[in-house]
Structure formats: C-alpha cells, structure tokens
Amino acid sequence: MSENSILSIGAPGFNVDRLVADLQATADRKMKAGVYADARVARAEKTNLVNLRGSDDFVSFYLTCLREAVFVDISDFEIHERRRFFTPLLVAFKKAIWKILKFYTYRLWSQQNQINGLIITGLEGMEEQTAARLAALEQRLARLEQQASGHGSP
C-alpha cells in the first residue's frame, strides 16, 4: 500500500502470501473431496459453469448440481422480528400469515417438486443413454480401425 492510503491493515508477523496459499490449498482439497459440489456453491459458481462447458465432466457436474437444487424448500422456518415494539404480536401475526399461505401453496409446491424430480430424472436417464451409446460407438470404431489396419498391411 502507498503511504497516502487511508486504511492499512496488518500485524507483526502476518504473512499474507502464506495465508493465501493456505486458503488455496484448503479450497483445492475440499474441491477434490466434493465438498463444494452442492447447490449453494453451484448457485454461487454459476458463471464458472460457462467456463466448464468444454470439460468432459461438465454434464455430470451440472446434473449433480441440478439434483441437489431441484426441490422447492417447503419446510417451516424461524420467523424473526427486528422491531423492538410489539415483537411477540408481530411474530404471531407473521406465523399466522405463513400458515395461511402454506395451506394454499403446499399442494402447488408439492406438485412442482414432483415435476422437478421427474425432469431431472429424465435428464439423467438421457445422459446415461447418450454415454452408453457413445461408449458403444467408440468401441465399434476401435474394432473397425483395428480390422482396417490388419487388412491393409501385407
């Protein structure tokens, strides 16, 4: 940082390069272990999916991300109120509103979850079929190339 900086953060014995290297090593280890392959990371890294498109693992990674993010969360959640006045009354009111909304939307959410599950299952099935066909064609091509090279030589 320059001498004219408004803010400078540091500590004696603090090695920024070592910290960055440690963080990178930890992230690499966790990526290899599959820790970052969940839906939240997929949403945070969706711009990286564009960069992965040329990768052989793109489709399987993308389908895994979809599988983990496919269902609408219809479970209850904690209702908090930040206002100081009438807090218990506001929380009770919000809980009542949530119960009414849940009553009217639960069936819709359930149907959407069913549709989402069927779609991802269909996509996974199509990917498995395509991979199997591709493997069979690659084996057939290898056999034909082997036969052609065997017949072509004296």
pLDDT tens per residue across span 85-133: 888 898 899 989 988 888 888 888 889 999 999 999 999 999 999 999 9
Tokens of 84: 């100081």
Are the beta carbons of 52 and 58 closer than 8 angstroms? yes
At 49, the pLDDT band (50, 70, 90 cuts) reads low
DSSP letter (8 states) at residue 8 = -
Average pLDDT for residues 71-81, to the nearest whole number? 82
> How many percent of the chain have pLDDT more than 90?
24
pLDDT at residue 35 greater than cutoff 50? yes
Instruction: Tell me which amino acid residue 19 is.
Output: L
The angle at the Cα of 122, spanning 32 to 105, to the nearest 5 degrees, equals 95
Q: What are phi and psi of 81, to 5 degrees?
A: -130, 125
The SS3 assignment for 138 reads: helix
What is the average pLDDT across 71-94?
A: 85
- Give the Cα separation of 130 and 117 in Å (integer): 20
Say yes or no to pLDDT of 1 above 50.
no
Q: Is the pLDDT of residue 2 over 90?
A: no
Cβ(91)–Cβ(79) below 8 Å: yes
**Residue 86, Ramachandran bin (φ over 0: left; ψ between -120 and 50: alpha; else beta):** left
